[in-house]
Amino acid sequence: MKKILYLILICIIIFGCRHKSAETGKQAKQDIPGEPAYGDALITGSIGEPSILIPMLAGDSASHEIAGLIFNGLVKYDTDLSVIGDLAESWDISPDGLVITFHLRKGVKWFDGVEFTADDIMFGYKTIINEKTPTAYQEDYLQVNKAEVPDKYTFRVTYKKPFAPALTSWGALVILPKHLLEGKDITKTDFGRNPTGMGPYKLRTWTSGQSLILESNRDYFQGRPYIDRYIYKIIPDPATMFLELQAGELDLMGLTPIQYTKQTETAYFRENFQKFRYPVFAYTYLGFNLKYPLFEDKRVRQAIAYAIDKKEIVDVVLFGLGKPATGPYVPDTWPYNPDVKTYEYDLQKARDLLREAGWKDTDGDGILDKGGRPFAFTILTNMGNSLRMNTATIIQWKLVKIGIKVDIRVLEWSTFVNEFIDKRRFQAVILGWSIGLDPDQYDIWHSGKTKEKEFNFVSYKNPEVDSLLEKGRRTFNIEERKKAYFKIQEILAEELPYIFLYVPDATPVVHARFKGIKPSPIGISYNLYRWNVPKSLQRHASMEP
């Protein structure tokens, strides 16, 4: 025993400061020119295992990630966030915005060789609105008044009211092969573990708890993908995953801020990996319970905003890998309004506003008070997210400087949501929202969405915002939508139901031998089927069917 311990100790001392250099022999240089070639495999790691590969039934991101490689939608987002055709070649929207007619691409085939037609969309649509289908994505499709299939390559839907997010709802969620599933209960078939799609990759083997192996669809309608195999390894522990990356067993994973800025800044990483960075469609915020008397006064919320240095939070918590947020949209996307009121860090202004609102430190204990009540509140956040916990700590430290006492309470996620958010038993929270690519945020800001389990849990109420939200989702005209969402951001920035804190960056790392990666606002994986490895750099034996 003793010897082993000594051995370990000695090894750690000897090797502790050395980084693995064996890999460099494989000459994975970034700038070796080479023709795109077919072959090789991309190995990626995931903390979670997909549960089911039918998009409309899946709830977790791992399932959607894999299903996204197997199924395509009618439309998709282009790299500049405009909507372009995918399985639909084009579409027409009637002048009143009620009827959308999709014209489908011809000659697209399911993996089993049967042609994809409008009947498959109709079948998927009927399945998703079926009472018996356990799906969470029904809402958008229930707005449809009538769906028709005028011919094999045309699909037409009529809405009750114009509904702007409708167009993009015809993505990959609703397309299922009718010839395989008609008359069957999709929750009872093995389709979810052995799906037939028409996307760039098809599932070859799925070993529970270990890996999923996908192989390229050689008849993919946009051309055969260059990389032959996509291997999805399940590694539940993030630290282990990073070690596997260092050992050369993984080609792609998302890095944490500290891994991105510190642990991968080595010669080994620079030589063997390419790092990417782009904003995630998400933001983190400090939300106030507006029903709570302390936060009823707008000036109080503004004072808190002045006392928080967003830049500092980004620098300290995210190691600079993010941007301060000014509203609920990602900077540099079309709904984002760059000219809203911002609150530059200014403690004096914060103090002035609080004094105006009647808060003074009368008893000299360093904490402001009014009517005998000290200014103290609790920020709740969820366990397991160290970024949010660190953010809360920084805010706590800043607010005490202007005489506000803050407590932080960290709760397990389910408890947090069920017992505190849903029951409105909170004063302030630090949480985040993922933002859909469509700017509609009706559910978060509309005053009609404040019931239990609904998402305007801060109880924000503003008739002007309500009508702008309504306007924004009822027109397809981008300029008009833009106007509505710009105005909403101005109002939100003035009234501050949330203090928008930051938009974090996604920081994936990919092995250097992969070429053809074009970073864009929607990430890097949108053109996975174009990624390739020059023949001389290929690492895994090519696979002939």
Give how far the C-alpha of residue 479 lies from the chain's centroid of Cα atoms, to the nearest Å: 25
Q: By CB under 8 A, is residue 451 in contact with another protein?
A: yes
Residue of the chain from 30, 418, 467, 477 that contacts another protein (CB under 8 A): 418
Asked if 468 and 484 touch (Cβ cutoff 8 Å), the reply is yes
Q: By CB under 8 A, is residue 73 in contact with another protein?
A: no
Cβ neighbourhood burial of 504 (10 Å; 0-12, 13-18, 19+): buried
Q: By CB under 8 A, is residue 60 in contact with another protein?
A: yes
Instruction: Tally Cβ neighbours within 10 Å of residue 153.
Output: 18
Per CB under 8 A, contacts with another protein among 386-415 are: 412-415
Region near another protein per CB under 8 A, out of 81-89, 274-282, 297-305, 449-457 = 449-457
* Closer of 140 and 219 to another protein (Cβ): 140
The count of residues interacting with another protein (CB under 8 A) is: 65
Q: Assign residue 358 a region: left if phi > 0, alpha if psi is -120 to 50, beta otherwise?
A: left
Residue showing tokens 């509505």: 484
Which candidate, 502, 468, 465, 481, places its Cα nearest to that of 168?
481
Q: By CB under 8 A, is residue 296 in contact with another protein?
A: no
Binding mask 15-34 for another protein (x = CB under 8 A): xx-x-x-x------------
Residue of the chain from 31, 131, 479, 544 that contacts another protein (CB under 8 A): 131
Per CB under 8 A, contacts with another protein among 182-201 are: 187-188, 192-193
* Closer of 51 and 145 to another protein (Cβ): 51
* Closer of 173 and 524 to another protein (Cβ): 173
Which candidate, 309, 408, 306, places its Cα nearest to that of 355?
306
Q: By CB under 8 A, is residue 243 in contact with another protein?
A: yes
- E strand or H helix at 88, and its extent? strand 88-93
- E strand or H helix at 377, and its extent? strand 376-382
Q: By CB under 8 A, is residue 348 in contact with another protein?
A: no
> Do the bridges between strand 99-104 and strand 88-93 make them parallel or antiparallel, or are there none, so unpaired?
antiparallel
Region near another protein per CB under 8 A, out of 245-253, 277-285, 354-362, 516-524 = 245-253
List the alpha helices (DSSP H) in 173-323: 178-181, 238-246, 257-258, 267-272, 298-307, 310-317
Give how far the C-alpha of residue 16 lies from the chain's centroid of Cα atoms, to the nearest Å: 36
Q: Which residues of this protein are in contact with another protein, per CB under 8 A?
A: 1-2, 5, 8, 11-12, 15-16, 18, 20, 22, 43, 48-49, 51-52, 57-60, 63, 131, 134-140, 187-188, 192-193, 207-211, 231, 233-237, 239-240, 243-244, 246-247, 249, 412-415, 417-419, 433, 441, 443-444, 451, 453, 455
